[in-house]
Structure 1
Amino acid sequence: MEFGVSTFVTDDGIGPVALGRALEERGFSSLFLAEHTHIPAKRESPWPGGAELPRHYYRTYDPFVALSAAAAVTERLRLGTGIALVVQRDPIILAKEVASLDRVSGGRAVLGVGAGWNREEMRNHGTDPKTRMRLLRERVLAVKELWTKDQAEFHGEFVDFDPVFSYPKPVQEPHPPVMIGGSGPTTFDRVIEFGDGWMPIHGRGTADLAGQITGLRERAGRPVPVTLFAVVPKPEIIAELEAAGVDEVLFNLPTETEADTLRRLDSMAALL
């Protein structure tokens, strides 16, 4: 089992350069960054994590800018989104961003995707919350076409373009892995159809994790990789997740100052 962290990089916490260096120096395998383009002042959608939306949700860096900064000062650290809000992103631009990250990092990009929970936020991007799952599907499929075809085209309900040239292509073959976030009743349908792995949040719909992983792999007919993010760094939890068949654990890293973050990473690294 491999170990990384999932976190929010913001303008008032540790920067991506210092964080990337610190993770690689301590033997972590990956860094996954959350995304919110903005938070609407009028909030109606309930946050799945509780009543009060934490400060770091309001202040996130663009994940691809932050991951590129971390890529420049690391050699082995895999660099992922946890999660990229694909329903708020143009698929042609998204394909280029991830392919560019994959090239500047030497093939270390991972695209974790999801449809999001903040309906006000997605509406500001022109996305209808009622159709966001269908939109997510088409945009991911379109991105894969852009990554893998010399002349890519896509014709769907929401995404429609005639043959185009889109470069650079990713380093990884056939493309960077696409990890599907969530744990709802139709999540496994998406993993099987257009995902390369499953990446749920620990403790949200994962009560029978071992059974879920076994069922997913049996349905898919392949050893679907499973990455669990926002994991509390405790030995007993790690042992439980390993027994359940999890391939990678992402410890939840709070957004703190550089000094506090380094001290916390030292404690987490002792569990690797």
Structure 2
Amino acid sequence: MRYGFYLPTRGPTATRDGILTLAREGERLGLHSAMIADHIVFPAQSDSVYPYTLDRKHPGGGDALETFSILGVVAGATERLRLVTSVLVLPYRNPVLTAKMVASLDVLSGGRVTLGVGVGWLKEEFEALESPPFDRRGAVTDEWIAIFKQLWSRSPASFSGEFYSFADVKAEPFPLQKPHPPIWVGGHSRAALRRTARFGDGWHPVGAIAASPLPPEEMRAHLDTLKRLTEAEGRDFSALTISYKAPLYDTAVSDRDGTRRSFSGRSEEIAGDIRGFAAIGVHELIFDFRGQSISETVELLQRFATEVMPQVGS
């Protein structure tokens, strides 16, 4: 099992020193990857439904550091840590510019970028950015992925789509990773599973929270569906990375049936959960250790690395 952790993007811990302290400590402790979320603006008032809390309201405020800016800083301060967008909302940015930014970061990081992608949920953010229509965000996301793959593998490259077109452009250098940086698809809707089957190198759902429990039996069913969809696309299901995010929202809330939520409780219980998810085919677990301060966050990270990871083994 591999492990990842979230870096702060907003609030008092989202500083240069805070981000670098946590990233370097995670790398020192042997964790595999660091996750960076994506928001650009927040509306003062919103009617959009957030899928990952019980009240359907986003827990953040109005501040957020930009994803690629964090990636660049962390890339220069670490050597082995995988750098994962979790997840980049693809319709927010021009696809040609995004492809260039990802390729450049992959080159400058020594081939450590993983592009986690999503369609987004905050309609008002789409509107503020003059992004493509919110209700077409799934189709836009699929088209942006196709554009990335074209620009990362051909020079000159051309593309003619429903939302974007270009002809005979050179966008080198290509990413170091071949054929391109891994693309992980977020979400566990049917559309997200189809997108993974068609375009993805990995599936990256959120679970272990009250609003989205995704316990092992549900994960197993989704994985069976994903296997069928992937094989129907003529692709190899076994080549996909399954990366399960377990953020600690609603921390005082038990699972929906009143039982202990996955990855909560004593260290031996958490280790048992990890073994259970490994047994159904999860390759990487992403935990959220973010506390009220960097020192608290580092302490939680260290406790996990020293008390839980050794019980699971390699």
Q: TM-score range by the shorter chain?
A: over 0.9
Q: Determine if the alignment matches structure 1 residue 42 to structure 2 residue 42.
A: no
Counterpart for residue 253 of structure 2: none
Is residue 2:89 matched to residue 1:85? yes
Instruction: Quote the Cα distance in structure 1 between the aligned partners of 2:78 and 2:7.
Output: 18
Is 1:2 aligned to residue 7 of structure 2? no
Does the CA-based 8 Å contact 1:7-1:255 persist in structure 2? no
2:223: which partner in 1?
213
Query: Structure 1's 11 and 163: CA in aligned 2 closer, same or farther, altered over 3 A?
Result: farther
CA distance in 2, matches of 1:253, 1:46: 25
- Residue of structure 2 in register with 1:27 after alignment: 30
Deviations 1:120-156 (A, max 9, x none): 1112222311111001110111011111111111111
- Deviation beyond 3 Å, 4+ runs, structure 1: none
Normalising by structure 1, report the TM-score.
Answer: 0.93
| Aligned-partner Cα distance in 1 for 2:295–2:181 | 33
Q: What is the CA–CA distance in structure 1 between the aligned matches of 2:85 and 2:76, rounded to whole Å?
A: 17
Partner of 2:255: none
Indicate conservation of the 8 Å contact 2:194/2:229, yes or no. no
The percent identity for this pair of structures is 31
C-alpha distance in structure 2 between counterparts of 1:172 and 1:32, whole Å: 19
Query: Structure 1: which 5+ runs fail to align?
Result: none
Quote the offset at 1:231 in angstroms: 4.8
The answer as to whether partners of 1:8 and 1:60 remain within 8 angstroms in 2 is no
Larger radius of gyration: 2
Cα distance between partner residues in 1 of 2:7 and 2:280: 23
Shift of 1:7: 4.3
**In the alignment, which residue of structure 2 is the partner of 1:13?**
13
Structure 1 residues 168 and 58: CA distance shift in structure 2, 3 A = farther
Larger relative contact order, structure 1 or 2 (CA cutoff 8 Å, min sep 6)? 1
Give a deviation string over 1:22-63, Cα, whole Å, max 9, x none: 1101110000111101101121102222334323x5322111
Give the C-alpha shift of residue 11 in structure 1: 5.2
- Tell me if the contact between 1:20 and 1:74 (Cα under 8 Å) persists in the aligned partners: yes
Q: Which runs of 5+ in 2 are unaligned?
A: 249-262, 264-269, 310-314
Equivalent of 2:105 in 82, 89, 101:
101
Letter in 1 for 2:214: T
Give TM-score, length-normalised by structure 2.
0.81
Indicate yes or no: 2:277 matched with 1:249: no
Q: 1:145 aligns with which of 150, 172, 175?
A: 150
Equivalent residues, number? 271
Amino acid in the other structure paired with 2:275? A
